[in-house]
Structures are given as structure tokens and as C-alpha cells.
Amino acid sequence: MESSFVLVGMFASLIVLMLSGAGLAFVLGGIAFLATATLWGPSALIVTVLNTFETMTSEALMAIPLYVLMAAILQKSRIIDDLYTAMETWFGGVSGGLAIGTVVICTIMAAMTGVVGAAVAAMGILALPSMLSRGYHPPLALGAICAGGTLGILIPPSVVTIVYAITAQISIGQMFIAGIIPGLILAVGYCSYIWLRVTLNPKLAPKPREETTIPLSQKIASLRHLALPAFVILSVLGSIYAGIATPTEAAAVAVLGALLSAIFSGRLQLSSLNAAATDTLRVTAMILWITLGAKAFISVFVATGGADSVLSFVESLNASRYVVLLAMLLVLIFLGLFLDEIGIILLCVPVFVPIIKTLGFDPLWFGVLFMVTAQMAYITPPFGYTLFYLKGVLPNGIGIGQVYRGVIPFFLIQVVVLILFVAFPEIVTWLPEQAASRLK
Amino acid sequence: MLRAAQAITTFNRWTFETTKWLVYVIAALMLFEVISRYSFHNPTSWGPELATLLFGPFFLLGGPYLLHIGGHVAVDILSATARGRLRTILAVAAALLALIFGVILVRFSLPLAWQAFEYGETSYSAWNPVVWPAKMVLPLAGLLLILQSLAEVVFAIKVRTA
């Protein structure tokens, strides 16, 4: 059968079957197996199964459950509560302090966990009530939580980053390091916006009525809660940056760090270990099953020459490479409206990264741009994931509409930052280059 | 019918609840390897490999129960807003797609896993273990997925008629 006909059939059936609400893993896998059998006969499926066996024993992918486990242990043992208390002592007096503090906590959590839902859910429970009781403007408070929560995608260790690096066949360690500066720029951007907005209009975030100044000794004492998370972060990033451990090995060390943190805070219980294991298997099975399906689907796409025809099509356009880049980013943002990031990566990256390389761009840099668009997708209505996490914890009287309004300024900051990274790629590539030259 | 569907779900939940503890085993194995390599310069031949062999069964056996709790990545624009008959049809269609995937998985992975068992295939590494126990999990996970998707069909229809 004509292979281009099969390709069109594959994508058409993908779209139709996806709409049934079936797991994307099954849709992709099912179509891939059937297309393989149609094109090359049932014996070709042996290769597909062998690929699956390979995925099952991938050392790189094994980093995913370990990082998720670390995050889950930290979350279940309520280390975040301690962090939040410390933050309140430090930022309580600043204009818009609680909102800024929320972004700061989200940044720290992002560096510890790399799972978006964890930060948004925790801040929705901890930070939202305290901001609202202080009379903060609800959209500002909600926007800060949503935007801050998505930093986990970019700031290492991030599960989304691991999946991107593996799919694009670049170093996970390099990709992690590339996310640090862009992540911090976004965090600083969010904080400056909040501070500026509140300075211009103090009514948005009233300061506490009686000026209670917390003594410096108490402020410093509250920092001890930061010590263990900081130790976890530094041990993970340090060992990857120095090149002494693979990301998977660093993840195992991180699990130990999280367990030690939980023990020292006196909150390690069998029930939290149990709940952490449940979360870990849920997330891991979700990601790895769709990986199996998407790998099979993409291998058919590549083997039929679909990838080549996309490449030659892009080349034949003769368009400026920035126009092509813009088109790809728009596709990513669009898909992000209704598809999970992991699914988008597994579907788009094998197609997009060869184009990026042909155009002379750096896949590492494109990865960071991708993560920023992913963050946009997470906070954009109607299908932004953070909005759904937050919906569960909204107090009475606050509708999802106020969340939508709150995220708009933060979305615009993300757009500005994205343009900044496109215009000045050095911001993204400088730190990974430093790390690479150190290793030589 | 409903009784059978509930039994399947219970069995898959039990599988999930047992399998989830493997992540601690994987973490411990990797940690042991890191410590023995970097502190004692004495890497084990089996640590990382045993961890990767456990990794496949870990995530595969979690999949069938994930189908029941709706944990797989899916586009739910239509299914979340659909009501009545359309909702039932979509739920059944979604379960049947998972069923098809399970059937294909069993049909094509079982011969390969069986082959690995018959010939006593090993991994050709320094440790060189037999690989069939890990490979056998793929058809097993496919079978559990088939059973769970049948159970989901029953649940979808029962909700409709109830």
C-alpha cells in the first residue's frame, strides 16, 4: 500500500480516536501496530516489540520514578509547610510580600521536585487562604500561584525535561543545566511584576495592620527549615553539574536526601511512604505507557519516510528560519491547549528536532523554548492543568473566572521571556557550555 | 457480570498496590551502586542491571489499574462534556481501544517472551542473568489490560442502565 496514504490514515485515525477520550497510549500504540502490520507484514512487529523491551530496561527513563518519588516524599512529609512558614517570616513585610514569597517557594519547590501539580496544589492550600485573609486582590494571588507552580517544568530536576532530552537524544544533564538560568529569569520576572504592580497600587495587597516586626534572630532561626531542601537540591544539581553521577544516580541520591529530610523533620511515617509510592507508580505508569505507544507510532512515521517528507517540505518553503521556528512554537502552544506535555513531546519532538538541526538551531536551546511554551499551556484556559489543580482548592466566592483573569499578566511575561530567549540564545546556552568545558 | 468486573478491578488494584513498592527497591539498588562505586571504588556487576530489569515490570503492572482510575493521558474535551447515551458510547469505545492494544500486545510479545524462556536467553552482560522473567511481564500486563478494559465496558453500561 502507498506509504503516504497510510501516513494520512494514521494521523486522521489518531485525531478521531483521540476524541473518544481513550488513553493516548492505546490509541498511538494500536494505530502503530496496525500500520506496521499493513505496511511491512506482521513479522515487522517483532522489531516494534523489541523496541518495547528496550524501553523497559532504559536506565535514563528510570530517573523518572526516582524524581517523582523524591517529590512525593517531600510533599507527603509536609516539608513544604515549613518552607512556607519561613517565607512568611521573611517576606511578610514587603509590598506584595506573600505573593512574591509564593513565587519564591514555588521556585525552591521546582528545584526540589519538578512535578507541576505538587507546587500548585500545596500553594493553593497554604498560600491562597493566607493571602486572601490579608485582603490580597484574588486574581493577583491566583496568578502568582499558577505561574509560580509551572516553574517546575523548566527548573531542574524536571520530569518533562527528562522526557524531552531522551526523545531529542541529547544529554539529560546538559538539558537540566540549561534550564537553570531561564527558570530563574522567569521567577525574577514574576516577582518584579508583583512588586511593581503592588507598589503602584497598594490596595491590591494590604500590609498587615499592626507593624509587627519580627526579630532578626527569629528570621534566621526560620531558615533552618531551608537547610535540608537546600542539601537535596545541591546534591542533585552539584553531582550532575560536576559530572560525577548520571541523572539517574543523582535521582537515587535525591530520594535518600528526601527521606533524610523527612526523618529529621520528624514526619516520616509508613503511611506517607505508602502514599508516595502510589503517586510514583501513577505518574510513572502514565508516562511510560504513553512512551511505549508514542515510540511505536513515531518509528512508523520515520520508517515510512514521513519525517523526511516533512523536512523537505520545510526546506522547500524557503522561509526565514525564524518563521519556521515561530510556526513550530505556535503548534506547541496550540497542542498544549488540550494535550499533556509528555504526549506533545513524544509526538512533536521526533519531528521538530531534525528540522531544528537542519535550520542550524541548537536542540538544547529549542528544548528551553519548548519548556516555556509548555508553561504557557499549563496556565492557559480552557485546558490549563494548573487551573484544574487549583479549581479543587478554591474557596467559596472565588470563581474560575478570577483565575483566568489572574494568569493573563503572567502569560504575557512568559511571552516576553520567550522572545528574549529567541533573540539572545546565549542566555540559555551559556551555562551548559560552561559545564561542558569544565568536563573536558 | 458486574461481580466479575469488580473482581478484576480488585485484582488489578492489588497488583498495583504490590508493584508500587518496587520503586523503593529500585532506589535502594541504585543508591547501593552509587555508594559502592564512588566511596569504595567497587562497582557491583548486578546492581544497576537488576534495577533496570525491575523498572519494566514496575510501570507495566501499574498500567491496567490506571485505566480504572482514569490516570492515562487522554484528550477529554468530548468525553468530559458528553452526557447520556453519547457518554456511554465514548466510554465503551475508549475501553475497547485499550482492549485492542492489549490484544496486540499479548499476540506479538508472548512468542518473543516465550522464546526467551525456551532458549534461556541471557543479557550477555557481566552479570548475565536470564531475561525471560522481565520479558514475560509484557504479555502479562497486556492480559491484565484486556481484563480491565472488559471490566470498564461493564461499568460504563451499568452506569447507563442504573
Condensed to tens digits (0 to 9), the pLDDT of residues A29-80 reads 989 888 888 888 888 888 888 888 888 888 888 988 998 898 888 878 777 7
What is the number of residues in chain B? 162
What is the Cα–Cα distance from A233 to A228, expressed in whole angstroms? 9
Is residue B51 a contact partner of residue A62, using CB atoms and an 8 Å limit?
yes
A55 CB neighbour count, 10 Å cutoff: 17
What pLDDT does residue A140 have? 92
- pLDDT value for B67: 93
Angstroms from B99 CA to nearest CA on chain A: 8
Q: Is the pLDDT of residue B162 over 60?
A: no
Count other C-beta atoms under 10 Å from residue A375's C-beta.
31
Predicted confidence at residue B30, as pLDDT, reads: 92
The CA radius of gyration of chain A, in Å to the nearest whole number, is 23
**DSSP letters for A343-404:** HHHHHHHHHHHHHHHHTT--HHHHHHHHHHHHHHHHHSTTT-HHHHHHHTTPPTT--HHHHH
Could you tell me the pLDDT band of residue B160, with boundaries at 50, 70 and 90?
low
CB A251 within 8 A of CB A157: yes
Classify the complex by whether its ipTM is higher than 0.90, answering yes or no.
yes
With a pLDDT cut of 90, the percent of chain A lying above it is 23
One-letter amino acid for residue A147 of the chain: A
Q: Which of A361, A435, A437 is nearest to A174 (CA)?
A: A435
For residue B97, name the pLDDT band (cuts at 50, 70, 90). very high
Torsion, Cα of A249, A253, A255, A258 (10° steps): -150
The label of the residue with cell 458486574 reads: B2
User: What chain A residue is nearest to B28 in terms of C-alpha separation?
Assistant: A252
Residues whose CB falls within 8 Å of the CB of residue A426, separated by 6 or more in sequence, listed in order: none
pLDDT at site A320: 86
Residue A338 has its nearest CB partner, among B51, B52, B75, at B75
The total of other beta-carbon atoms located within 10 Å of residue A314's CB is: 19
Residues of chain B in contact with residue A30, where contact means CB-CB under 8 angstroms, are: 97, 100-101, 104
Q: Chain B partners of A256 at a C-beta cutoff of 8 Å?
A: 27, 31
Where do we find the cell 535550520?
A359
Q: Quote the CA–CA distance of A229 and B124 in Å, as a whole number.
A: 41
Separation in Å, CA A125 to CA A114, A130, B3: 19, 9, 39
CA-nearest of A54, A60, A38, A87 to A226 is: A87
Q: What percent of chain B has pLDDT over 90?
A: 52
**What 3 state SS string does A2-46 have?**
CHHHHHHHHHHHHHHHHCCCCEHHHHHHHHHHHHHHHHHCHHHHH
Confidence (pLDDT) at A44:
81
pLDDT at B13: 96
- The dihedrals phi and psi of A46, each to the nearest 5 degrees, come to -55, -40
A171-180, A265-274, B71-80: which range is least confident on average?
B71-80
* Nearest of A168, A161, A167, A166 to residue A356 by alpha carbon: A168
List, for residues A7-28, the tens digit of each pLDDT value.
788 888 888 888 888 888 899 9
A382 — pLDDT class (breaks 50, 70, 90):
low
Smallest Cα distance from B121 to chain A, Å: 13
pLDDT at A78: 76
Q: Cα dist. A170→A22, A111, A164, A363, A364 in Å? A: 31, 21, 8, 8, 7
- Looking at residue B140, what is its pLDDT? 96
Q: Which residues are A23's β-sheet partners?
A: B74
| Pairwise pLDDT comparison (A97 vs A115), residue with the higher score | A97
- If you average pLDDT over every residue of chain B, what do you get? 89
CA distance A16 to chain B (A): 11
pLDDT bucket at A325, cuts 50 / 70 / 90:
very high
Name the residue facing B97 among A22, A42, A252 (closest C-beta): A22
